[in-house]
Amino acid sequence: MEPLKPSAAGALPRIDTWPRKLLLAVALGYLTLFLALPVAFILIQALAKGWQAYLAPLRDPAALAAVKLTLYAAALAVPLNLVFGVAAAWCIAKFEFKGKTALIALIDLPLTISPVISGLMFVLIFGLQGWLGPWLGGHNISIIFAAPGIALATVFVTLPFVARELIPLMAERGKDDEEASVLLGADGWQTFWLVTLPGIKWGLFYGVVLSAARAIGEFGAVSMVSGHIRGRTNTLTLHVETLYNEYNMTAAFAVSSLLVLLALFTLAAQALISAREEAGGRGEIL
């Protein structure tokens, strides 16, 4: 029987016995195989034919159009869901009311619905055979198979992220500070900007990073409403799909590498913020 380690907090055991070595090896193998390998593969494939071959697909007009459309959708989705997230977190974290659990479940709903179904729902409203389809057609407004539909689907799938970051954070901070601020004569906006916001800014920042990353990376939902017109209704991820289906692997991986960098930036932001939280005594994950 191995000697038992003292269970003092912070004194984690070293990897000194073979069961521990085995466990570490299994964990490392599993995470490397599933996480490191795909990322390394994308970057290597993207650069396999040299810098010229790497940069050419990024300068392609269709790629630039995809970047523009993606940024347009994200630029709409992120601010809308930022305002929504703050409003939702304010009433959920600072007040008691009936149906709060149901409200939180409703906010989480876009996360549990398959992206394909999310896209389909907007087709059912705005599509040709949808509720508003005939009216929109009569007025020459296109939403499905056009940029507005892509933006709508993006707003839907990124809706929960800011709210989900802020609700636990604001609930944990309690309402004493806000109450004191109001009792001392500040109005609601002053209280929010000067008292609440400084305490939640990092959570807010991370919520925005997550929303933006998801908005830029969304595939299933936008694929249902896009129509896949190259250079017109392709977002970055749809452009990757198009390139891949044309067997243009170097280009597909080159465009993918941009999205990989975005993912790595997201992870770095998260690591930074959780390190700050740990330093501030908050060790909650997710």
Partner 1 sequence: MKQPRKPGVIPGFGLCLGYTLSYLGLLVLVPLAALIIKSAGLDWAWFLHTVTEPRVLAAYRLSFLASFIAAGINVVFGAVAAWVLVRYQFPGRRLLNAVVDLPFALPTAVSGIALTALCSPGGWIGGLAAPLGIKIAFTQLGVIIALTFISLPFVIRALQPAIKDLDPAVEEAARVLGASPAQTFLRVIVPSLAPALLTGFTLAFARALGEYGSVIFISGNMPHKTEIAPLLIAVKLEQYDVAGAAAIAVVMMAAAFTLLVSINLLQRRNLHGTA
Which residues, numbered 129-168, are part of the site for partner 1 (CB under 8 A)? 129-131, 155-156, 159
Residue that is written with structure tokens 């269709």 in the block: 62
Examine residue 276 and tell whether it contacts partner 1 (CB under 8 A): no
- Smallest gap, in angstroms, from Cβ of residue 39 to partner 1? 7
Amino acid sitting at position 286: L
CA distance 250 to 49: 7
By CB under 8 A, name the one of 55, 114, 134, 171 that touches partner 1: 114
Q: Which stretch binds partner 1 (CB under 8 A): 47-55, 59-67, 166-174, 266-274?
A: 266-274
Where in 17-56 is the site for partner 1 (CB under 8 A)? 19-20, 23-24, 26-28, 30-31, 34-39, 41-42, 45
Characterize 97-124 residue by residue with b for buried, 16 or more Cβ atoms within 10 angstroms of its Cβ, and e for exposed. eeeeeeebeebeebeebebeebbbbbbe
Q: Which of 73, 167, 208, 216 binds partner 1 (CB under 8 A)?
A: 216
Cβ proximity to partner 1: between 64 and 117 the closer is 117
Q: Please, which residue, 88 or 150, has the CB nearer to partner 1?
A: 88
Complex with partner 1: residue 50 or 286, whichever CB lies closer: 286
Q: Does 7 bind partner 1 (CB under 8 A)?
A: yes
**Candidates 55-63, 134-142, 164-172, 215-223; binding stretch for partner 1 (CB under 8 A):** 215-223
Phi, psi dihedral angles at 12 (to 5 degrees): -80, 145
The region of 54-62, 128-136, 164-172, 200-208 touching partner 1 under the rule CB under 8 A is 128-136
- Contacts of residue 44, defined as CB under 8 A and 6 or more positions apart, other chains included, come to none
Among 127, 149, 203, 207, binds partner 1 (CB under 8 A): 127
Shortest distance, position 283 Cβ to partner 1, whole Å: 7
Selected from 67, 125, 148, 282, the binder of partner 1 by CB under 8 A is 125
Is 256 a residue that touches partner 1 (CB under 8 A)?
A: yes
**For partner 1, the closer CB: 64 or 87:** 87
Find the helix or strand (DSSP H, E) in which 46 lies.
Answer: helix 37-47
Which 3 state secondary structure label does DSSP give 254? helix
State in Å, rounded, how far the first CA of the chain is from the last one: 36
Name which of 56 and 269 has its Cβ closer to partner 1.
269
Q: How far is the CB of 51 from partner 1 (least distance, A)?
A: 21
Closest among 157, 172, 175 to 73, alpha carbons compared: 157
The residue from 98, 139, 280, 286 that contacts partner 1 (CB under 8 A) is 286
Q: How far is the CB of 71 from partner 1 (least distance, A)?
A: 15
Nearest-angstrom CA–CA distance, 251 and 240: 8
Residues 6 or more apart whose Cβ sits within 8 Å of residue 207: 82, 85, 161, 162, 163, 164, 165, 166
- Alpha-carbon distance values, 167 to 199, 200, 267, 268, 272 (Å): 13, 10, 21, 22, 20
